[in-house]
A and B are shown apart, each in its own frame.
Chain A
Amino acid sequence: MHSILLVDDNEQLINTLKFRLEGLLIDEAIEVKTWIPTSDVDNPKEYFHSIIDENTILVITDYDLTTQGQTGLFGSSVVDWCQSRGIPVGDFSRGNPGNLPKEPNLFELRIPTQGDLAGPYIANIATGFRDIRKAIEENSADLIKKRSPPAVLAAILGVANMESQFSLYGMRLGATNAALVEKIVRTAPSDIEPSEKEKRDILSYIVSHLLLNAVLKYSGPILSQRALTAYLGVDKSEFETIDRLFLASAYKGPFSGIEKFYWLDKVDAILDEYASNMQDELKAETQGELNRLILVHKEQRNFVLHSCNRCGGINGGFLCTFTDRTVCQKADCSVGSNSWIPQGARLCRIERDFYEEWAPILGI
Chain B
Amino acid sequence: MDRNTQTILQKLVNQWDEVKATLEKMRGSSIVEPADGYALFAPTGKKFDNAVEFELSPVVFNLPERADDIRVELYIVVRGRLIVEFDESKKFLITRGFQTEAAYFRSTKTGLDHVYGAHYDFAVDELGHPSFHAQMKSFSDFSEYISKYFGDFNEVEDRVAGILKTVRLPTAQMDFFSFFLQIFADHLLHKESGPEEKLAFNILLENNSFLRGAAHQIARLTSEAASVCYRASHWYPII
Q: Any chain A CB within 8 A of the CB of B73?
A: no
Given A164-B21, A165-B21, A346-B37: A287 in contact with B6 (beta carbons within 8 A)? yes
A165, A171, A287, A294: the one contacting B17 at CB < 8 Å is A165
B 9-42 to A, binary, CB cutoff 8 A, 1 in contact else 0? 0100110011011101100100001111111000
A172 with B22: CB separation less than 8 A:
no
A167 with B7: CB separation less than 8 A:
no
Given A283-B1, A285-B1, A344-B17: A171 in contact with B39 (beta carbons within 8 A)? no
A168 with B20: CB separation less than 8 A:
yes
Q: Which residues of B contact A294 (CB under 8 A)?
A: 3
B1 with A290: CB separation less than 8 A:
yes
Size of B's binding interface in residues, CB under 8 A: 27
Given A275-B3, A287-B6: A346 in contact with B38 (beta carbons within 8 A)? yes
Q: Which residues of B contact A167 (CB under 8 A)?
A: 21, 24-25
B2 with A147: CB separation less than 8 A:
no
Min distance, Cβ B169 to any Cβ of chain A, angstroms? 32
Report the separation of the CA atoms of residues A286 and B9 in the bound assembly, to the nearest whole angstrom: 12
A148, A172, A290: the one contacting B6 at CB < 8 Å is A290
B28 with A172: CB separation less than 8 A:
yes
Chain B residue at smallest Cβ distance from A336? B36
B22 with A164: CB separation less than 8 A:
yes
Q: Any chain B CB within 8 A of the CB of A364?
A: yes
A346 with B13: CB separation less than 8 A:
yes
Give the A-B pair count, Cβ closer than 8 A.
73
Q: Any chain A CB within 8 A of the CB of B196?
A: yes
Q: Any chain B CB within 8 A of the CB of A304?
A: no
Given A336-B39, A346-B13: A171 in contact with B6 (beta carbons within 8 A)? no
Given A168-B20, A283-B1, A364-B34: A268 in contact with B196 (beta carbons within 8 A)? no
Q: Which residues of A contact B24 (CB under 8 A)?
A: 167-168, 171
A336 with B38: CB separation less than 8 A:
yes
Given A171-B28, A172-B28, A268-B7: A290 in contact with B2 (beta carbons within 8 A)? yes
Chain B residue at smallest Cβ distance from A171? B24
Chain B residue at smallest Cβ distance from A264? B10
Q: Any chain B CB within 8 A of the CB of A113?
A: no
* SS class, residues of chain B in contact with chain A: helix
Q: Which residues of B contact A284 (CB under 8 A)?
A: 1-2
* SS class, residues of chain A in contact with chain B: loop
Min distance, Cβ B53 to any Cβ of chain A, angstroms? 16
Q: Any chain A CB within 8 A of the CB of B199?
A: yes
Size of A's binding interface in residues, CB under 8 A: 31
B13, B28, B36, B207: the one contacting A338 at CB < 8 Å is B36
B7, B22, B35, B199: the one contacting A336 at CB < 8 Å is B35
Report the separation of the CA atoms of residues A338 and B21 in the bound assembly, to the nearest whole angstrom: 13
Q: Which residues of B contact A172 (CB under 8 A)?
A: 28
Q: Which residues of B contact A248 (CB under 8 A)?
A: none
Q: Which residues of A contact B21 (CB under 8 A)?
A: 163-165, 167-168
Q: Any chain B CB within 8 A of the CB of A238?
A: no
B39 with A287: CB separation less than 8 A:
no
Q: Any chain B CB within 8 A of the CB of A343?
A: yes
Report the separation of the CA atoms of residues A165 and B25 in the bound assembly, to the nearest whole angstrom: 12
Report the separation of the CA atoms of residues A346 and B36 in the bound assembly, to the nearest whole angstrom: 7
B25 with A171: CB separation less than 8 A:
yes
Q: Which residues of A contact B39 (CB under 8 A)?
A: 329, 336
Q: Any chain B CB within 8 A of the CB of A281?
A: yes
Chain A residue at smallest Cβ distance from B4? A281
Report the separation of the CA atoms of residues A167 and B207 in the bound assembly, to the nearest whole angstrom: 15
Report the separation of the CA atoms of residues A171 and B196 in the bound assembly, to the nearest whole angstrom: 14
Min distance, Cβ A114 to any Cβ of chain B, angstroms? 34
Q: Which residues of B contact A364 (CB under 8 A)?
A: 33-36
B17 with A336: CB separation less than 8 A:
no
Min distance, Cβ A295 to any Cβ of chain B, angstroms? 13
Q: Any chain B CB within 8 A of the CB of A282?
A: yes
Give the residue among A283, A294, A343 with the most B Cβ atoms within 10 A.
A343
Report the separation of the CA atoms of residues A349 and B39 in the bound assembly, to the nearest whole angstrom: 11
Given A147-B199, A338-B35, A346-B37: A286 in contact with B1 (beta carbons within 8 A)? yes
Report the separation of the CA atoms of residues A171 and B35 in the bound assembly, to the nearest whole angstrom: 15
B35 with A287: CB separation less than 8 A:
no
B35 with A329: CB separation less than 8 A:
no
Report the separation of the CA atoms of residues A287 and B38 in the bound assembly, to the nearest whole angstrom: 10
Chain B residue at smallest Cβ distance from A285? B1
Q: Any chain B CB within 8 A of the CB of A353?
A: no
Min distance, Cβ A335 to any Cβ of chain B, angstroms? 8
A 237-277 to B, binary, CB cutoff 8 A, 1 in contact else 0? 00000000000000000000000000000001001100100
B1 with A268: CB separation less than 8 A:
no
**Which residues of A in the span 292-306 have a Cβ within 8 Å of any Cβ on B?**
294
Give the residue among A271, A294, A364 with the most B Cβ atoms within 10 A.
A364
A282 with B18: CB separation less than 8 A:
no
Q: Which residues of A contact B18 (CB under 8 A)?
A: 164
Name B residues whose Cβ lies closer than 8 Å to a Cβ of A: 1-3, 6-7, 10, 13-14, 17-18, 20-22, 24-25, 28, 33-39, 196, 199, 203, 207
**18 other contacts beyond A171-B25, A338-B34, with CB at 8 A cut-off?**
A147-B196, A148-B25, A164-B18, A168-B17, A168-B20, A268-B7, A271-B3, A272-B3, A290-B1, A290-B6, A318-B38, A329-B38, A336-B38, A336-B39, A338-B35, A343-B17, A346-B36, A346-B37
